[in-house]
Amino acid sequence: MKADKEKVNRLLKTARGQIDGILSMIEEDRYCIDISNQIMATEAILRKVNQEVLHGHIDSCLREAVEHNNVDEKLAEIRSLIDKLTK
């Protein structure tokens, strides 16, 4: 993985903390809207992590494939990923 590992780790630990908080909220029978807001905040962090990982992929793996004239496989991977993201 070529993304900023420190940033990715920090974001994932934050998301993990939020998930633990959501679990506590559920156990405490907290208000549904409050739980939903925390879930959406966690999803936003995970989207940011994915963005960081993908930027690292583009900046390193895709760039390397371009330099070695081996782009087709990487482009197919990215197309497949876009299909998953847009479902």
Q: What are the boundaries of each domain within the chain?
A: 5-85
Q: Which pLDDT belongs to residue 70?
A: 87
Per the listing, tokens 């590992």 go with 5
The whole-number pLDDT of residue 1 equals: 81
Fold classification of 5-85 (topology level): Methane Monooxygenase Hydroxylase; Chain G, domain 1 (1.20.58)
Single out the residue of 48, 51, 57 nearest to residue 18, CA to CA: 48
Q: Are 19 and 50 in contact (CB under 8 A)?
A: no
- What's this model's pTM, rounded to 2 decimal places? 0.85
pLDDT of residue 3: 86
Q: Quick check: 87 pLDDT over 90?
A: no
